[in-house]
Amino acid sequence: MGSRFHFPLIVSIVLAFLLSFYGLVAVATHLDDYLLPGNEVNVGILAQLPGVDKGDVPEAASIQQRINILLLGLDRRPDEPPGSPIRTDTIAILSIDPYSNTAGVLSIPRDTWVEIPDGRGGFLEERINAAYTLAQTGVVFHREGPPGLVKETILHNFGIPIDHYVVLDFVDFIRVIDTLGGIEIDVPEYVYDPAYQECYTCPAMAVTFRPGRQHMDGHLALAYARIRYGSNDFERIERQQQVMRATFRKAMDLGLLMDPGRLKSLYSQFRSSVDTDVSLPRALGLALKVRQIPEERIKTMSLAPAMRDYITPEGWSVLIWEQEDVQRMVRRFFLDGRLEQEAPTIEVRNGTDVPGLATRVATFLVDQGLPEEWVSIAPEPAPGHRYTLIYTVREKEYSARKLAEWLGLSPGQVVVDPALIPPGEADIIVVAATDVRLLARNP
């Protein structure tokens, strides 16, 4: 009996295959954002299908689009009993912009006075380094444990969303540095502690770091980052950031971030001792992205300059801060990466008879995160303008359009015609009129 062509069955098989392929493409184009940040898969004409990520990426990431990783260094000594309450000695945020290929480390002083969510809808006023301990000891319940409470505390106080966390104690820190073969630090100034102790029962010893380039193993690097004698927390933060940059540089020099096999081995070696929610696939994707970021595009900042010493009624020495000052620094840290690469000089001119308009516009731009040294004010007004115009050279056009966005202007108010640009030495000239909108924005 001869075979017979079964048209409905063939159609069903083909449709099932196409639907499966369609679903696979849709999932893959969304999954690549997670596994390959900033390196999206291009699926060509298939991107027009509903549910498929088109792969369009911005030129720079917003604070919500960045990958923010909380770095916590625990003040745990080798001779402490397991399970002892531990406070965080180091609190920092590693932020990666996968689109503009920039990154940064923002440090938060451990004595910063904050509101810590109490798990019942209220808040506890405490130093930020107490958040981890409060969750660890059960005083505050958090479904994500101690790192989760620190993440929520940072979001509530500073408006910074955290995607992942890495928790490292002193013993793990020493092991990481030694595995890399030590790091090179260019010590800027003399640092000395006559009675440094690595653990509570360890004998005290004198530790000295003289200015100049030095090779440090894990123990020396830990001492350099931890020393308090003759230093304040602000200086310790600067040393800790030096160590972070040196560690990154050494990993790059060894090719660890370019070798998935070696990175996987290093990840497996420390995964059992380092507490993190970064999976191996995610770690490999982040490593691929980090290798694309030149070191000069990695900035380090601290919230310390926005804070001042304060003694609480209980006699505790803490750091307090004004919301406006800290938010300005947060915006500076999360400044649009593409704009930061262009680094334009900006002159603001008053195009009206309204007194102080140029000063208000310039102050507004600095409040958005622009460095003060980028922005100047023309001494003489240029009245007669009904609408604000932003003149720029073509190489700084992205920055000019970003300023227009902040000021509530249309793209048509950005002029890039060299023949029309007024005389001046700045890259961008803002001739301000009363149509500017000086509205505060979120970090």
pLDDT tens for 196-230 read 888 777 888 899 999 999 999 999 999 998 888 77
Residue 30 has pLDDT above 80, yes or no: no
The residue type of 245 is R
17 or 85: which carries more pLDDT confidence?
Answer: 85
What is the residue-averaged pLDDT of the chain?
Answer: 84
**Per-residue model confidence (pLDDT) at position 173:** 83
Confidence of residue 123 (pLDDT cuts 50, 70, 90): very high
29-43, 54-68, 234-248, 306-320 — most confident range: 306-320
CB 123 within 8 A of CB 116: yes
**Per-residue model confidence (pLDDT) at position 10:** 62
**Per-residue model confidence (pLDDT) at position 26:** 45
Residues near 432 by beta carbon (within 8 Å), at least 6 away in sequence: 348, 349, 350, 351, 352, 357, 358, 361, 385, 388
Strands (DSSP E) contained in 81-217 are 88-97, 102-107, 113-117, 123-127, 164-169, 183-187, 191-196, 205-209, 212-216
Counting residues of the chain whose pLDDT is more than 70, the rounded percentage is 81
pLDDT digits (tens, 9 = 90+) for 354-402: 999 999 999 999 999 999 999 999 988 888 899 999 999 889 999 999 9
Name the strand (E) or helix (H) holding 317.
strand 317-321
- The span from the first CA to the last CA of the chain, in angstroms, equals 75
Three-state SS at 186: strand
**Per-residue model confidence (pLDDT) at position 202:** 83
Range 257-261 contact pairs with CB under 8 angstroms and sequence separation of 24 or more: 257/287, 257/288, 257/290, 257/291, 258/291, 260/284, 260/287
Residue 72 has pLDDT above 60, yes or no: yes
364 or 23: which carries more pLDDT confidence?
Answer: 364
The runs of H, that is alpha helices, within 60-144 are 131-136
Residue 36 has pLDDT above 80, yes or no: no
The residue type of 372 is E
Cα separation, 427 vs 433, whole angstroms: 19
Q: What is the CA angle 253-187-255, rounded to 5?
A: 5
**Per-residue model confidence (pLDDT) at position 22:** 42
**Per-residue model confidence (pLDDT) at position 46:** 45
Confidence of residue 258 (pLDDT cuts 50, 70, 90): low
360: its two tokens: 């208000």
Confidence of residue 29 (pLDDT cuts 50, 70, 90): very low
Residue 13 has pLDDT above 80, yes or no: no
How much is the average pLDDT of 332-357? 94
Length of the chain: 443
The residues with which 112 forms a beta bridge, in sequence order, are 319
Phi, psi of 242 (to 5 degrees): -60, -45
Residue 24 has pLDDT above 70, yes or no: no
**Per-residue model confidence (pLDDT) at position 86:** 79
Cα separation, 413 vs 436, whole angstroms: 11
**Per-residue model confidence (pLDDT) at position 227:** 87
The residue type of 7 is F
Cα separation, 65 vs 96, whole angstroms: 9
Residue 117 has pLDDT above 70, yes or no: yes
**Per-residue model confidence (pLDDT) at position 174:** 85
How much is the average pLDDT of 240-252? 84
Q: How far is CA 424 from the centre of its chain?
A: 35
175: its two tokens: 């092991």
Q: Which of 13-17, 193-197, 225-229, 231-235 has the lowest mean pLDDT?
A: 13-17
**Per-residue model confidence (pLDDT) at position 146:** 94
143-147, 170-174, 244-248 — most confident range: 143-147
The residues with which 431 forms a beta bridge, in sequence order, are 349, 389
Residue 396 DSSP one-character state = G
**Per-residue model confidence (pLDDT) at position 262:** 63
135: its two tokens: 């969750």
242 or 255: which carries more pLDDT confidence?
Answer: 242
Cα separation, 196 vs 33, whole angstroms: 46
How much is the average pLDDT of 330-335? 96
Name the nearest CA neighbour of 336 among 409, 419, 441: 441
Residue 427 has pLDDT above 80, yes or no: yes
pLDDT digits (tens, 9 = 90+) for 133-162: 999 999 999 999 999 999 999 999 999 999
The model's pTM is 0.82
Residue 7 has pLDDT above 70, yes or no: no
How much is the average pLDDT of 274-291? 80
Confidence of residue 410 (pLDDT cuts 50, 70, 90): very high
Cα separation, 257 vs 440, whole angstroms: 39
For 231, counting Cβ atoms within 10 Å of its Cβ (0-12 exposed, 13-18 middle, 19+ buried), the class is: middle
Q: Which of 47-56, 95-104, 300-309 has the lowest mean pLDDT?
A: 47-56
